[in-house]
A and B are shown apart, each in its own frame.
Chain A
Amino acid sequence: AQSVTQLGSHVSVSEGALVLLRCNYSSSVPPYLFWYVQYPNQGLQLLLKYTTGATLVKGINGFEAEFKKSETSFHLTKPSAHMSDAAEYFCAVSERQNNAGNMLTFGGGTRLMVKP
């Protein structure tokens, strides 16, 4: 079964600093890859996704992620953190190999804290 690992349950950065949230998947066949953001007491909002084509994907709110097959990774970055970026971030995958389509497997989540 597919698994998703997010290294670091908590990440703290200063406002204006680089944000790097890590995500690794386990499948030998690269899955579809997603990043979601969750603000307190809210559902999930899609930041970006990778299905095919260019491996550097740009999303909303200035975030981007790069799919690296050799590293089985899909890390999320933002050049300059803003206070409003403080939230929980989830990496998720959908198994391409098994045509999982809209069935998602979520990572454990990373709480991003932004210090003034």
Chain B
Amino acid sequence: GAVVSQHPSWVICKSGTSVKIECRSLDFQATTMFWYRQFPKQSLMLMATSNEGSKATYEQGVEKDKFLINHASLTLSTLTVTSAHPEDSSFYICSASSGQLYSNQPQHFGDGTRLSIL
């Protein structure tokens, strides 16, 4: 149980393109979703959290207009990297929790998306 599917797993695109990453909870309702960014050989950095139907809460230093997060349903959240540039290349990981933020319901992680901008 508690499966999170992230798609695509790998994307390569030209600079200036906008890229959408999907995160789906397959067998539970994801009240809260988390988006992380991971640089090579580094730890996960939280980018933002979102509750279904509400605007995402971004961490300090994360550009809201660059990284658009939509959590329109209890099973789907999307991260859109707008006008992507090479410095946006990274590994993006989503996770989902059936509880509210700060609840004791654990995070379940997707397999990540490797984004490469040429």
* Residues in chain A within 8 A of chain B (CB atoms): 9, 36, 41-46, 49, 90, 99-104, 106-109, 111
Contacts and interface: CB of A to CB of B under 8 A. Distances in A.
Contacts of A49: 106
Given A41-B112, A43-B93, A43-B112, A102 B42 contact: no
B109 A100 contact: no
A27 B77 CA distance: 32
B109 A45 contact: yes
Contact of A103 (B41, B42, B102): B102
Contacts of B95: 43-44
A9 B55 CA distance: 36
B72 interface: no
Given A43-B93, A43-B112, A44-B93, A102 B43 contact: no
Interface of B: 4, 6, 9-10, 32, 41-44, 46, 49, 91, 93, 95, 97, 99, 101-107, 109-112, 114
B111 A90 contact: no
Contact of B112 (A42, A90, A102, A103): A42
B105 A90 contact: no
Contacts of B101: 101-103
A102 B32 CA distance: 10
Contact of B102 (A9, A41, A102, A111): A102
Given A43-B112, A101-B103, 17 more contacts: A9-B41, A36-B109, A41-B9, A42-B111, A42-B112, A43-B6, A43-B109, A43-B111, A44-B44, A100-B102, A101-B102, A102-B99, A102-B101, A108-B42, A108-B43, A109-B41, A109-B43
A46 B106 contact: yes
What 5 A-B pairs come out closest when comparing CB atoms?
A43-B109, A101-B102, A44-B109, A43-B111, A106-B43
